[in-house]
Structure 1
Amino acid sequence: MHRSGSIRLHRQTSQQRALAVHAQVLAGAVRRSEGAALRIERARTDLEEIEIQLLLEGIRLCYGYDFREYALSPLRRGLTAAMAREGVQTVSAYQDRILHDAACMQRFLGTVGFNVTGMFRDPELMRCVREEVGSYPLDRVRRYEDAYAASGGQANLADHYSIAGRAARFNRKLQGSITWARHSLVTDGSFNDFHLIVCANVLIYFRASLQERAHRLMYDSLIRGGFLALGKRESLLHCPDRDHYEQVRDGVNLFRKMRW
């Protein structure tokens, strides 16, 4: 090969090697840049989580509301919306405001408290409750009649219920003995023996540990044979006593407590 041709090939090879080296250097720089960005983002996320933990601890100590075991993802979304409404940029700045402004705390509860739902949000569940819980088979009611009389009952048990088809329903006047009370699944204990507990679309906002606590509390608060109603996206997965329930109807989250 002519010497000039050899020189041209040598130059082309050198240029290709140089381009390859430059590409490798550029790729390395990009990887380092991406790695640095990820580390910065991770650091920001870690810092924000620390800020959130401090905020929740401050709210617990100052106002008595305990959100520490709430699921982080929906809590973060609500917190972001609350911060935007207040016009603050960091969780720390929001913490300073909320601890010194009770009105800000009330607005926070309105955004993050998960206290709003729709009436009869799960019609199938409500229908099942009406059919399975709100009425009693007549043969069982007759046994109750005999036991009522044997125990010294002076009136007629039938005065307190009406017959509809093959079932009996308690009269509406008995429904006037309803007690309205504030109760927290996070911090409070059992305060009554219930025939029915409806806890729909609440557990989905709890971490597994808090779901377990709530389930144990509800189980302890149900009489034997009592009913527990849950939302569509909820289950007995984190219930320590799940083997002590039976599902009343397939596809409906209504469960009956079978034993202590």
Structure 2
Amino acid sequence: MKTSAAIAEEIELHLLIEAIRLKYHYDFRGYSQASLKRRLTQARHHFGCETFSQLQDRILHEEATLVKLLPFLTVQVSEMFRDPAYFLTLRNSVLPHLRTYPSLKVWIAGCSAGEEVYSLAILFREEGLENRTIFYATDINTDALAKAEQGVYDMDRIPLFTENHRKAGGKSSLSDYYTAAYGRAVFDKSLRKQMVFSDHSLVSDSVFGEMHLVSCRNVLIYFNRELQDRAVGLFKDSLVRRGFLGLGSKESLRFSGHADSFEEFNRNERIYQKRADA
């Protein structure tokens, strides 16, 4: 049986989430409650608040606090060519299909600081498909989008990025794509010429366009079942006939209400293909 303190904390958490939605239109109600509570508890300690009510007061009256809060609520952990086998499968198995199209659209949903969109741009360049592809990188965190558009990463992350790129079948050195200066790697601005960065919420926004590949990796694990279904429905409706959907290594369509609209293209790498009759 829950204590009165635990019940009060649950109410405070609910009211905080509702306050964020009502004032700033960021809707986190469909996120995993356990994950949300853990992240907001970290934020509460960071801001020096003893209760969620105190944090709510700051959020309502200090708009700058929300900007600092969003990184706690959105997934910010990524790396270039994360899970190299996924990118190797795209290179060897998915891109031969995409090569048959005269033009391509790729949606990276939940792009965070842009590591995945740069990975895909490099992969598509190495396979000769970059110039006919537009990469749509979206996130609800506008600060993360700004960082993604800059394409600047700390040099201490580059050895891991380089090794991932090699394992993903890289046909050149990753150093060909960035310039090192002052402890940071600045990725070539030519990689951004085919990228479009946009604020988009999988919780409340609509279909994004006719995509040939949607890559949304390690985002759905933070959603509850209802919101997962909404997101997968968006991906299904956004994909062209026989388009591809890539998910994270711990994600699956197995229990999704839209599972029948997809075929397993590569089970190990969580890559699905939209059925022709979907």
Query: Do both share a fold (TM > 0.5)?
Result: yes
1:97 aligns to what SS in structure 2?
Answer: helix
The whole-number CA distance in structure 1 between the counterparts of 2:53 and 2:267 is 48
Give the letter aligned to residue 233 of structure 1. K
The 1:171/1:127 distance shift into structure 2, 3 A limit, reads closer
Identify the match of residue 83 of structure 2 among 113, 122, 130.
122
Instruction: Tell me, yes or no, if structure 1 residue 95 matches structure 2 residue 59.
Output: no
2:196 aligns to what SS in structure 1?
Answer: coil
Residue 215 of structure 2 corresponds to 198
**Mapping of residues 75-154 of structure 1, within 5 Å:** 75-136=36-97
Residue 132 of structure 2 corresponds to 174
Residue 184 of structure 1 corresponds to 201
Give the letter aligned to residue 130 of structure 2. R
Question: Unaligned stretches of 5+ in structure 2?
Answer: 103-126, 134-192
Identify the match of residue 29 of structure 2 among 68, 71, 86.
68
Higher helix share: 1
The whole-number CA distance in structure 1 between the counterparts of 2:267 and 2:24 is 42
Residue 20 of structure 1 corresponds to none
The 1:118/1:171 distance shift into structure 2, 3 A limit, reads closer
Higher strand share: 2
Question: Unaligned stretches of 5+ in structure 1?
Answer: 1-38, 145-168
2:198 aligns to what SS in structure 1?
Answer: coil
Instruction: Tell me, yes or no, if structure 1 residue 55 matches structure 2 residue 16.
Output: yes
Deviation at 1:171, TM superposition (A): 4.2
The whole-number CA distance in structure 2 between the counterparts of 1:82 and 1:235 is 29
Aligned partners of 2:32 and 2:222 also within 8 Å? yes
Instruction: Tell me, yes or no, if structure 1 residue 217 matches structure 2 residue 234.
Output: yes
Calculate the TM-score normalised by the size of structure 2. 0.65
1:181 aligns to what SS in structure 2?
Answer: strand
Aligned partners of 1:230 and 1:253 also within 8 Å? yes
Aligned partners of 1:248 and 1:256 also within 8 Å? yes
Aligned partners of 2:236 and 2:261 also within 8 Å? no
- Structure 1 runs (4+) deviating above 3 angstroms are 169-172, 175-178
Give the letter aligned to residue 239 of structure 1. S
